[in-house]
Amino acid sequence: MAASSSPRLFFAVTVLLLLLTVSSLKLPFHPRDLLPLLPRRVSWPLLNSLNSAVDLLPTYIGSASIKNDAVEWKGACFYENKAWLELNNKSGSEFGGGTLHIKVDKAHSWTCMDIYVFVTPYRVTWDWYFISREHTMEFKEWEGKAEYEHVKRKGVSIFLMEAGMLGTLRALWDVFPLFTNTGWGENSNIAFLEKHMGANFYARPEPWVTNITTDEIHSGDLLAISKIRGRWGGFETLEKWVSGAYAGHTAVCLRDSEGRLWVGESGHENEQGEDVIAVLPWEEWWEFEQTKDDSNPQIALLPLHPDYRARFNVTAAWEYARSMDGKPYGYHNLIFSWIDTISGNYPPPLDAHLVASVMTVWSKIQPDYAANMWNEALNKRLGTEGLDLPDVLVEVEKRGSSFDELLAVPEQDDWIYSDGKSTSCIAFILEMYKEGGLFDPISSSIQVTEFTIKDAYMLKFFENNASRLPKWCNDNDDVKLPYCQILGKYRMELPGYNTMEPYPHMNEHCPSLPPKYHRPKNC
């Protein structure tokens, strides 16, 4: 340590230790509140350990209603809080408005504050509280009868930003780089997956590109892909976290009648910037991944077992692939392959209330996006047509059900959406497997749109004899994986790979909570 920096660092550490020592006392401040005042080399590692990108997610604490007693909870800053709702008609409108009362008390320090988000299916607003007293949030006018009826029955949902102001700002700082196409973004994605999934990122020996001879690649061989920077890298990181998958994208190999190798992929970006299903020549696909894909992809080839390769009806697979070529990526059912249970698929603080709130926000900001991502799929589950999100929530209440139960209804492969059948990257491949006979004789009881990428690579369809792997498989690596990593700096791990025989209604009711991602038998 340089002598010139020692006194300042020693002082900072001493102050920090004193703060931690007296943290059990009632102080006019909390030690954490002073961390930003310390030198950056001391404060930021501590802030990183106390907060993460996940802290950006609010926690549902209850609904303030006119039907029951005040909802009470312990906040991040104020330890005694309660809220209640009062309907009124100060605006003189047909359905009036209301006043949400929030009483906060017993702050743990004089410098903290609590941030809240208030949600109905028709609006989202927020506020923050710094002073112990009763506060009010005015809703001057309900948007119409539907919101008025909802508020009468269900009240206003309240979410707490548990990390507080400092933690929330720090979490925003952590989330931003996940989606940036920079070294900072790559390191942030890796750090997130290491922290929240327990994933490992061990560097492979160079060269990181395998010299492939394609004559040893066959129809049905799966390509597992993990992107760790840029827009898709950030999206895949969050997808991996909630699903337990150690890959975020997939493609499949197909040979035509002349022996030429192709790649089928749902999620290929066309010239118009749209994500579509495409069947591309291997050479074009492989060249792009090596030289033009700026997400730094890690790619592994998962060869089919010879018995399954012999069963695979390539003609039927090609027929299906051609029928889907050019159709949109399967956004309609993307989130529903992840959500199988009422509460067992949401890493804290996620839950169905938060999912509904996020949907509400997006429905206001991007209504077309919302219709594509979930409105049609929710209508399918209800057997209705054309209902937007607020109407869906009202309909669920009328039926005596709940939104979390609706989200958990299994997707059906034969559902037709406004733009045709909807298949994500892995559903496209598994539907091809299904058409090609790999799920026989139980294919009629398999809904591949319920499978995540993890569910797919766990299927016992793949090669289990290392001596039959291609001769170039992992030839530059001192660790011999049971599959062939063909691109990427980091060694790809696929826990549970090739271990599970298919069974009827597979993956329709499976939890997926990190970091263990425990899976009950036959879920």
State pLDDT tens for residues 321-380: 999 999 999 888 888 899 999 999 988 877 787 787 777 766 765 667 677 788 899 999
Q: Which pLDDT value is given to residue 5?
A: 43
Confidence label for 494 from pLDDT (cuts 50, 70 and 90): very high
What's the order of all strands across the beta sheet hosting 156-161?
59-64, 156-161, 114-120, 123-129
Residue-wise pLDDT for 248-269, tens only, equals 999 999 999 999 999 999 999 8
| pLDDT band at 163; cut points 50, 70, 90 | low
- Please report the sign of the dihedral spanned by the C-alpha atoms of residue 287, residue 291, residue 296, residue 298: positive
Contact indicator for 380, 372 with CB cutoff of 8 Å:
no
Angle between helices 389-398 and 352-365 (to 10 degrees): 140
Computed over every residue of the chain, the mean pLDDT equals 85
Which position has the higher pLDDT, 210 or 25? 210
Select the more confidently predicted residue: 70 or 12. 70
What pLDDT sits at residue 473? 94
For residues 313-319, average pLDDT: 97
pLDDT range class, residue 23, cuts 50, 70, 90: very low
How many CB atoms are located within 10 Å of the residue 385 CB? 9
Burial of 123 (C-beta count, 10 Å sphere; 0-12/13-18/19+): middle
Among candidates 287, 277, 254, which has minimal Cα distance to 487?
287
**pLDDT given at position 172:** 59
